[in-house]
Structure 1
């Protein structure tokens, strides 16, 4: 019965992916840190709240991720010119270099995660996961 529960199966798949990610990560980036850097590279500087929405993280989570990335020198924050209460997050040169090293690893991670599936199954899984997200 448990083997037919979607939550259980998603958790197993998530654990498998997390182990693969950890084996290939560059500079100890976590999946949430990697996602944050990718979204910054794709969208440019943005508010911390907007970045959280782009990376699918709640306010508390993105704050912690940004704090850790800032401590590592991968991002910088500055008060917004429009609203001093809002912080604008931007990628540093160091963050861009870390991301450049991580992007190829991300492709390997995806490939290994999906390795048990045939190409049509991979495409279907990605399509279905996008529908669920």
Structure 2
């Protein structure tokens, strides 16, 4: 019977790209949580984009932070609940929501920024600077 169904090459989970990407992300999220208090990585990504680019439509903010519409909606609602962003209808198109940082949101970004950089450094600490740059370039190429 075993000849009829030859044994496939062993599937090693730890050699799978998706598995290792997920493990790396889980590790980074845990490190981020130790360094940055009061914001999740997705919340930080949203306020970082708003700090960098200014007010954006909620849809565009979602695209720029790689979040689907349901996720960005929840993130914006939680940030608004913390007083870090304001969301209002667009004056020209009432269907669109415009999201902007509040003064408290700007302060929260500036406070979290240095801590986020420390989290990044800890995540990449086992790599040389060249390896870290190569990893970031390869990840960008994948997505």
Task: Give the TM-score normalised by the residue count of structure 1.
Answer: 0.96
Deviation string 1:55-111 (CA, Å, 9 cap, x unpaired) is 111100000000000010000011111011211110000000000001001110110
- The 5 A counterparts of 1:1-133 are 1-26=12-37, 28-133=38-143
Equivalent residues, number: 132
CA RMSD of superposed structures (Å): 0.8
Matched residue SS, 2:66: coil
* Higher radius of gyration, 1 or 2: 2
Following TM superposition, the consecutive aligned residue runs of length 4 or more in structure 1 with deviations greater than 6 angstroms are none
CA distance in 1, matches of 2:25, 2:66: 16
Gaps of 5+ in 1: none
Distance in structure 2 (CA, Å) of the matches to 1:14 and 1:54: 19
TM-fit CA distance, 1:53: 0.7
Q: TM-score, normalised by structure 2?
A: 0.90
Matched position secondary structure for 1:15: helix
Which residue in 1 is equivalent to 2:6? Answer: none
Alpha-carbon distance, 1:15 to partner: 1.2
* CA distance in structure 2 between the aligned counterparts of 1:15 and 1:87, rounded to whole angstroms: 31
